[in-house]
Structure 1
């Protein structure tokens, strides 16, 4: 035998409230997930990233646009005043940051780990009044990229590579190596912040591409390098030094020849030119024992110059 119990009015109300509460929680969760996905941006160190900003009202004639980064002390990134009718635009951005004057998108070139944080875009409509503010908040997370460099090796047939992560203090990094995009290479040494790889021929050839992968906190970044023999590298350096020395020697020879020619020309222009002179009937006064010569008048002197 089954007993049938009627539901009271209060129980109906309780069930309705529970259903409303579940719907509100579900919609709130969906909204938060959508908002976080929309305003959360990720970029790898060294890339260019663009952060969006909401557009002002359609009837806006003149607006102020200001991008600010919020950290311990808020920093103004870009600040512009834009008039759509007169095309009056004035403002500035700090280095590596650029503002699109139409969409107000902020572009960050060569993004660094220090660029991570929360940014806000504030648009203030000035004309027509009244003044209206619209603010957009976005979050930027910059993922570190490994630094890959070649170390000196005493053996010309061997390559010594160092892959390291900078800017990560508390993260445990897992390093892996590959050649030409496939195959796994065993590192020589590896720890939480760097990994070393040593390859000797015939395990590698000129032109091979070795890639270092760094994984941390569900993030994986990479950096690659193309292998060349050290002899070729030294040969290129020596060729560059010889070329520079030859160019410097040629320039010095040209300067020396120019100085010598200039000195010769100056010497020729500064020489003394003597004119021919003819002296006639010119008698030089000389002391003679004959005293009669003192009573005679001196002869006239005539000088002709040719």
Structure 2
């Protein structure tokens, strides 16, 4: 019994090997060489405005094999059909096209003029539909990272208090990770001396504004580093430019003070004139209206009676009282 134990071990191992071999033959029968379904993900980094080639990494087993190859993201970008020895491209957007290399027997999709919003995962899917049912022969994924370099500028600005400040702007970069620091006479400044403003642009890129309070004119520089740059970039502000900008700010302040003073003097003069006129109007004597005394009706009213007979002139008449009753007089 002890001698038979090793034999049983070898028999079990041999049976397992036969089972694995059988499974391997079944897989090779179902998926011949060149038709294996393999999901892989590669990464490509592309600068904004450039193109990228996405390979499907599938080689037909023979020239007469028929299948459909598609490039997809959230929706279908492009597709092509192989019928025997010919290709037919259809349903491709403007910035995407299908490339077939007869020499290397490679299928590739080219996506041009990439923008930041084009960042994402692209899938190349090869499907055989004839004979039915439809079978996926290959699916490969490529993550495309679109990057954009920052545009850096350094200038002098005026703060709300009127004092000059230095401003370093890095705009239009992607992704968002960016380092921006100030250098004074070759030494990096403490970040607490500056303050920054970050914002997102309509095209999904980013912009950073960094302000620095300056009390002197020495060699200042703005140091910027980003993943889209091969090395950090440094933008300088010379002392001569600093003095020139400060002189401009002083001239502007002098003009502002002069204009403000003139406006205040003019306002005071106008208020003085208005107050003086108001004071004089109050000291004038008021106009008095004397009412005419009441007089007798007979002395104020005079009737003229004109005779229309011949050339007689008008004859003035006085009112004539006609007594109709002892207590009433009628004036005629």
For the criterion TM > 0.5, the same-fold answer is no
The normalised TM-score by structure 2 is 0.39
Q: Pick the structure with greater CA Rg.
A: 2
Please report the TM-score for the alignment, with normalisation by the length of structure 1: 0.41
